Amino acid sequence: MTPLVVVLSSPSGGGKSTIARRLLAERDDLDYSVSATTRPPRAGEVEGREYTFLSPEAFEARAEAGEFLEHARYGGHRYGTLESEVRRVIQGGQHVLLDIEVVGARLVRERFRDAVLVFLLPPSGKLLAERLRTRGTESTEVITARLTRAQEEIAAAVEYDFVIVNDDLEEAVHAVQAILEMEARRTSRQRGLSALLERISHEVAAEVRRGDPNG
Ligand code: ADP
Ligand code: 5GP
């Protein structure tokens, strides 16, 4: 199996983290690329699990050193995918899941032409705002800024391979699962395919030599 590079994007509150958590719990062939950020941890976030939390200086130093596959600014903070994270997961033979915004997603696509880009849409603007408020992790000002940015993010959804409306959570998780199942079966991604075709073809030839099965 050729590991997939899977990108999940959405406006803030669109359900990326929730769906990512579910996928990671349900599949042992998938692992998460832990990004670096300069934003402070939210209550309950753990260093090295949700993010590697860096000072602006440390982030800049790692950017200068070329450690990021991509990085972008969001809400006054910096976020970046560490090349070492993506390498760690792929070398372990697993698919790699990236929860990143749209500018970073474009850069990942440039780097990995066959990355699978999935955009999650909220069922409505009202529900997006409600989910963000209910999550309770940001101030009113930050929520307004995130909703403002959501407008340009939604416009970028057409650049993605798949768009899923995250209305019912179970259905949305199931839809991403189906995409992973199908993408892994693409002819172009099946590393051992020629060996498999050759083996089965030889086996069929042996059956032919053995004679007519009804004879
Ligand atoms: P993101 O990571 O995209 O910012 P989250 O995964 O944190 O979004 O989801 C935002 C909030 O919406 C969370 O409180 C989450 O529990 C809730 N949520 C996510 N998906 C659904 C859904 N399908 N139905 C109801 N609530 C949801
Ligand atoms: P949050 O602060 O809600 O965790 O994340 C804010 C935004 O930054 C989300 O859209 C999230 O997907 C994005 N993000 C998280 N990590 C990265 C990253 O490594 N690169 C980019 N480009 N965006 C990221």
Phi and psi at residue 32, to the nearest 5°: -100, 135
Task: Give the per-residue pLDDT at 212.
Answer: 72
User: What residue segments make up the domains of the chain, in order of their start?
Assistant: 5-211
Does residue 17 carry a pLDDT above 80?
yes
> Please, what is the average pLDDT of the chain?
96
Question: Ligand 1: distance of its center to the CA of 166 in Å?
Answer: 9
Q: Is 153 touching ligand 2 by the criterion CB < 6 Å?
A: no
CA 163/CA 175 separation, integer angstroms:
10
CA neighbours closer than 13 Å in the CB half-sphere of residue 90: 14
Q: Is 79 touching ligand 2 by the criterion CB < 6 Å?
A: yes
DSSP, collapsed to helix, strand or coil, labels residue 199 as: helix
Query: Is 3.40.50.620 the CATH number for 5-211?
Result: no
Confidence at 103, pLDDT banded by 50, 70, 90: very high
Mean pLDDT throughout 93-117? 97
* Residue ID of nearest Cα to ligand 1 atom 25: 169
Global model pTM greater than 0.75: yes
DSSP, collapsed to helix, strand or coil, labels residue 40 as: coil
Q: Is 80 touching ligand 2 by the criterion CB < 6 Å?
A: yes
Q: Tell me: the pLDDT tens digits for 174-207?
A: 999 999 999 999 999 998 999 999 999 999 999 9
Task: Give the per-residue pLDDT at 2.
Answer: 84
